[in-house]
Amino acid sequence: MNCKIALIRGDGIGPEVVNEAVNVLNAIADKYGHRIEYVDVLMGGCATDAVGVSYPEGTAEKCKSCDAVLLGAVGGPKWGADKPSEQRPETALLAIRKDLGLYANLRPAVLRPAMADACPLKKETAEKGIDLMMVRELTGGVYFGKRNKYQTEDRGIEATDLMAYSEKEIERIGRRAFELARLRRGKVSSVDKANVLETSRLWRSVMHKLVQEYSDVAYEDVLVDNCAMQIVREPGQFDVLVTENMFGDILSDEASMVTGSIGLLPSASIGDSAPGLYEPIHGSAPDIAGQDKANPIATILSVAMMFRYSFHLFREADTIEAAVDAVLADGVRTPDIAHPGEKTVGTREMGRLIREKIKAM
Ligand code: NAD
């Protein structure tokens, strides 16, 4: 395969973890005979410092000229809430998702076998393993609805946020979920609040139409409050969970916590045609930036997702994930996933050991 990957290294630990991910990309390219070209894209606080805005003109076009985008992380106290919006890194994040039409956010929550003791749930629950995929709608719902704030005569100020979903928006995210389930264990759990919300009743009716088409996939409706309980009670029951934007925001953080460390969790945001964007779920961790302390695994596993979902190269994705599991099984730990007093390695050494495993496989 010949491909072009946009690299948004970003701020804080972003450049450090992207470096290790690129080294892994190159190791995979060498092993399986691929040619990868990289295009550096400036975005985030570093762009504000360099050119005065966090999302320089042409950012989306540069990314669209590539087959996939790898993002480290953006943000930091230097570009905080007191800055004008065009200088804030978060503005760039929302803009790139919108400009690339990335409406589906995929967040796997996997309890890696060697990390079972990092799971905060009961031992017998952790032992059953966790391997679920949260599919969150990313560009609709209450986060993008019309907002209003006004003075009332007798109740003080009142504020409203409109939650809107169209059949089209629900159908396209639903299809993503069913198709993903076919590549996994064949089960979709659709999360809503249909006992209260009109948007949820529409959501459910669109999902039920899709069920007819994907009759080979097992399906269930789950109310969001019950889902929040089930994720801590019996997460092993879930394969693919699909839900709207705000429910997904909250549940995906809950699901990631039950697996241990945020330094281990990747994500993908995908649309219909533009390149997918792959990034760790963690932020720029300014407290450890530049100290060779960051765990690069979440970014390296984001590369595995890129191979699987953008390039459909499953052997390459499996090799990366197996290499990460092998290094963790050897007891290699960065500080964030180590027990107190345990010997640790830095960002670069963790990356090197994973590459060694890839070569040896
Ligand atoms: P954070 O994820 O950056 O850090 C939270 C804690 O986890 C910190 O103690 C940090 O040291 C640790 N941590 C995070 N990633 C780690 C890793 N790979 N290895 C080891 N430890 C790790 O979250 P935060 O502190 O809330 O945010 C810091 C900045 O990152 C903010 O400016 C925020 O806006 C930004 N942010 C960016 C993204 C993104 O780029 N997608 C996502 C979340 C937060």
Q: What's the pLDDT at 129?
A: 82
Read off the pLDDT of residues 64-75 as tens digits, 9 standing for 90 and up: 999 999 999 999
Would you state the structure tokens that stand for residue 1, as one six-digit string? 């395969």
* Distances, alpha carbon 279 to alpha carbons 71, 236, 269, in Å: 5, 25, 8
Mean of the pLDDT values across residues 158-174?
Answer: 97
Would you state the structure tokens that stand for residue 328, as one six-digit string? 């963790």
Read off the pLDDT of residues 240-274 as tens digits, 9 standing for 90 and up: 999 999 999 999 989 988 887 788 999 999 998 88
Please indicate whether residue 295, judged by its CB atom, sits closer than 6 Å to ligand 1. Answer: yes
Would you state the structure tokens that stand for residue 332, as one six-digit string? 């290699």
CA of 285 to the centre of ligand 1 (A): 4
Q: What is the largest CA-CA distance in the chain?
A: 73
Q: What are phi and psi of 72, to 5 degrees?
A: -75, -85
Put residue 315 in one of left, alpha, beta given phi > 0 → left and psi -120 to 50 → alpha.
alpha
Nearest-CA residue for ligand 1 atom 26 is: 283
Read off the pLDDT of residues 91-144 as tens digits, 9 standing for 90 and up: 999 899 989 999 999 999 998 778 888 788 988 888 888 899 999 999 999 988
Say if CB 265 and CB 108 are below 8 A apart. Answer: yes
Distance of alpha carbon 238 from alpha carbon 207, whole angstroms: 17
Alpha-carbon 215 to chain mean position: 28
Distance of alpha carbon 26 from alpha carbon 35, whole angstroms: 9
Q: Above 80 in pLDDT, residue 317?
A: yes
Please indicate whether residue 260, judged by its CB atom, sits closer than 6 Å to ligand 1. Answer: no
Lowest mean pLDDT among 9-18, 84-93, 255-264: 255-264
Listed in sequence order, the residues at least 6 apart from 342 whose beta carbon sits closer than 8 Å to its beta carbon are 333
Q: What's the pLDDT at 127?
A: 82
* Distances, alpha carbon 117 to alpha carbons 111, 126, 259, 323, in Å: 10, 8, 10, 20
Proportion of the chain above pLDDT 90, given as a percent: 86
What does the CA dihedral 190, 195, 196, 198 come to, rounded to 10 degrees?
60
Q: Above 80 in pLDDT, residue 54?
A: yes
Say if CB 169 and CB 137 are below 8 A apart. Answer: yes
Distance of alpha carbon 66 from alpha carbon 12, whole angstroms: 24
Task: Report which DSSP code applies to 105.
Answer: E
Nearest-CA residue for ligand 1 atom 12 is: 285
Name the strand (E) or helix (H) holding 213.
helix 198-213
Q: Above 80 in pLDDT, residue 172?
A: yes
Q: What's the pLDDT at 177?
A: 97
Q: What's the pLDDT at 114?
A: 80
Arithmetic mean of pLDDT over the chain = 95
Question: Relative to the CA of 79, which ligand 1 atom is closest?
Answer: 32
Read off the pLDDT of residues 262-311 as tens digits, 9 standing for 90 and up: 889 999 999 988 899 999 999 999 999 999 999 999 999 999 999 999 99
Please indicate whether residue 283, judged by its CB atom, sits closer than 6 Å to ligand 1. Answer: yes
Q: Above 80 in pLDDT, residue 326?
A: yes
